[in-house]
Structure 1
Amino acid sequence: MHGHKLVADGIFGPATEAGVKAFQSKSGIRASGKVDRTTYMAFVSPMLRVLEPITHNGTLTDAVAKLARKHLAEHPREIGGQNRGPWVRLYMDGNEGNAWPWCAGFVTFILKQACELTGKPMPIAGSFSCDVLAMQAKQKGRFCRENDIDDHVRNTGGAPAIFLVRRTSTDWTHTGFAMSFGREVMDTLEGNTNDEGSREGYEVCERIRSFSSKDLIVLG
């Protein structure tokens, strides 16, 4: 809760009250320990900020990149257990829990934001499933196999894309945004991961990944 480490147990007990008071004091709110409207709005302010419009150059890829970094700056992470918390519910249309890994939901949410902001149609429909994202990209002619990533970089100047971690030729296990490209590596920004690169992590973060076992969904 905004850096105040609490165990989520569903009970508003003394620990939660102390955490609320600490948050209120840090935020310049009278430390009552009660979640009134002012406190609630301060709690949700990071989520409100990521929904605000941004300045962009009119292209979908620029809007995607800037929105993704705006989300990253607010440090979205799970609260209350695996695939749980308000950020997960935001990205997953209200769903949360063990059955709802949210990497594809994060990608889809930002893609929809960028399309609404730029007035451009969705390049793919979006999904909570990595496999469905891959299928949509193939149907739209936007699927770029690992062996063709160098061509994508040459043809687009390394424009941001969606990466897919490939387990088999028909199974993809994780996704996020490839923000820029180097020699055989990409700088990524992704959700439902962590510093170890797990596909079942707990936050939005940046990573460096190799091209190996990756495919792309081209956005530009």
Structure 2
Amino acid sequence: MPRIRSIFSLVIAVTLLAGCTLSRNAMPPDSGATPLPDVATPALPPAVRIDRVDDARRFEPRTKLATTPSLTDDEAANPAVRARAFAQKRDSNGRPLGSVLLPAGQSVAKLTEATILKVLQDAGYRVVKAGDADYARAVPVTARIDRLWAWTESGFWQVELQASYDVTVSAALPGLQQGPRFVGNTRATMQFPTASDWNAAVTRLQTDLATQMRAVVGKAP
């Protein structure tokens, strides 16, 4: 009988020990434990917005100089045409043959705005638009286009397609506080300029503008 009691007591002890091993217990907190460090919320890059891009180009009618932006009277009176015009084809005697326009829905101002936004984004700024939460607090950016024009210079065997721009960009950002003026000229030679060559001339201008701006605009803080 005493032996049976001993065995029974041993079984109970083993059972209790197993329960302690297999059951999930919540340990009381250690008041002396080192608290976890606070994790800071990552700061968002500074926000910027384009307030306006003014197309301030002036066109002269019936000019004999291909380098001078020119439109017919009817074209000059049409804002939609003025906004898209960037060249005027001429014959070998310099007589106008017709204006060269950007595609419908596009404009010189929109194209330039896209270039400025790309430069700012590459510099680390966060571009916001109307309706975004930070739009009201974003740094406003303005620009003025005084020139963006392409023309051809006839050579003996080839034609040189030239283009130039004069754009001022202002903002309370590093490199743009004083409203720097960006001026440039590009050129390419060909046998006869096609529609794609004219479009490529505008693309080269925007690429050159972006390169000049990147050399001036500082990285976002």
Q: Structure 1 length normalisation: TM-score? A: 0.22
Greater per-residue helix proportion: 1
